[in-house]
């Protein structure tokens, strides 16, 4: 409406961002074959006993030119381009391989949790990939947790429900990540076999600021309890938040207060010290 010139500026902006995305996609495609990904591990604790329970595996992209690219920047692009199927397979296998190596060093009671993208369910044969990762690495399925978001659970088909059922039946535990941010109604909690709810960190972070978030977090904890699910809070950044969560009966926590995600070597040294909160 402001005239052709303005429109041209916009289109150049769009064109350059498209070029940028295409460039990033081709770098990302190379990253898959050149193994530029690494996993960092963030400790998860039992709030009741203070014990270390396991770690969430979080992918990092180390590109020779771009440096360390955070997942917030490339996961969406990887999902749109379908590359997440290959990346996700690598992540799963690497997390299982690493936990099995640690298991052999004595970490027999820790779990590793891996994030799964909805695209891995819709475009990849996720069940076969999981089975292959376990077979290849020999990891006990009871040491593996898989995190899916509510958006994955809108595939409300019989086929999908039986797939999830079979995955859980093998001993793997399923968590719902970023719980409370999805818009789906909660009836899926009765249909899907899940083990754990992870309260989204936006609620946790605002816990000390407003009454509404206290109500929200406390409602999620009660919901989890009444469905006999484990409940984890992520994004715990200060002592007051930890105390409030413990008081409300939250089971588990992770966050910068305890530890940031760290390279495998560091997490290995860390769990060996048998840390407690």
- Residue 255: Cβ-neighbour burial (10 angstroms; 0-12, 13-18, 19+): buried
Residue of the chain from 70, 104, 184, 202 that contacts ligand C2E (CB under 6 A): 70
User: Sign of the C-alpha dihedral, residues 102, 41, 110, 191?
Assistant: negative
Q: Which range binds Ca ion by CB under 5 A, 47-55, 80-88, 176-184, 219-227?
A: 176-184
Secondary structure of 71-108 in the HEC alphabet? HHHHHHHHHHHCCHHHHHHHHHHHHHHHHHHHHHCCCC
Say if CB 118 and CB 80 are below 8 A apart. no
* Cβ-proximal residues to 24 (8 Å cutoff; 6+ apart), any chain: 74, 77
Residue 224's binding partner among Ca ion, ligand C2E, none (Cβ under 5 to 8 angstroms by kind) is none
Residue of the chain from 79, 150, 178, 251 that contacts Ca ion (CB under 5 A): 178
CB atoms within 10 A of CB 123: 13
Question: Token pair of 179, please?
Answer: 């719980």
Q: Least distance in Å: CB of 71 to ligand C2E?
A: 3
User: Please, what is the angle between helix 84-104 and helix 4-33, to 10°?
Assistant: 40
Residue of the chain from 25, 46, 63, 71 that contacts ligand C2E (CB under 6 A): 71
Q: Which range binds ligand C2E by CB under 6 A, 1-9, 70-78, 100-108, 160-168?
A: 70-78
Residue 235's binding partner among Ca ion, ligand C2E, none (Cβ under 5 to 8 angstroms by kind) is ligand C2E
Check binding of 180 to ligand C2E (CB under 6 A): no
Residues 19-58 that bind Ca ion (CB under 5 A): none
Q: Least distance in Å: CB of 190 to ligand C2E?
A: 24
Residue of the chain from 115, 137, 230, 241 that contacts ligand C2E (CB under 6 A): 115
Residues that bind Ca ion (CB under 5 A): 115, 147, 177-178
């Amino acid at each position: 409406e402001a005239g052709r010139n303005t429109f041209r500026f916009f289109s150049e902006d769009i064109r350059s961002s498209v070029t940028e995305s295409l460039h990033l996609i081709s770098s990302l495609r190379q990253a898959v074959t050149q193994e530029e990904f690494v996993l960092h591990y963030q400790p998860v604790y039992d709030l009741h006993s203070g014990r270390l329970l396991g770690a969430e595996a979080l992918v990092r992209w180390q590109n020779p030119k771009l440096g360390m690219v955070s997942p917030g920047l490339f996961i969406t692009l990887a999902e749109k381009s379908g590359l997440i199927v290959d990346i996700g397979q690598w992540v799963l296998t690497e997390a299982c391989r690493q936990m099995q190596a640690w298991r052999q060093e004595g970490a027999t009671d820790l779990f590793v949790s891996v994030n799964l993208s909805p695209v891995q369910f819709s475009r990849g044969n996720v069940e076969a990939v999981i089975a292959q990762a376990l077979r290849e690495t020999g990891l006990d399925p009871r040491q593996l947790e898989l995190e899916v978001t509510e958006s994955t659970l809108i595939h409300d088909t019989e086929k999908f429900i039986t797939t999830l059922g079979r995955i859980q039946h093998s001993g793997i535990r399923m968590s719902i990540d970023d719980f409370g941010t999805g818009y789906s109604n909660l009836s899926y909690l009765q249909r899907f076999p899940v083990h754990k709810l992870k309260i989204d960190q936006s609620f946790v972070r605002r816990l000390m600021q407003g009454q509404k978030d206290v109500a929200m977090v406390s409602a999620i904890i009660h919901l989890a309890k009444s469905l006999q699910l484990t409940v984890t809070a992520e994004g715990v950044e200060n002592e007051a938040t930890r105390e409030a969560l413990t008081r409300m009966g939250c089971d588990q926590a992770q966050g910068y207060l305890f530890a940031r995600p760290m390279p495998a070597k560091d997490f290995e040294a860390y769990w060996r010290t048998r840390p407690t909160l």
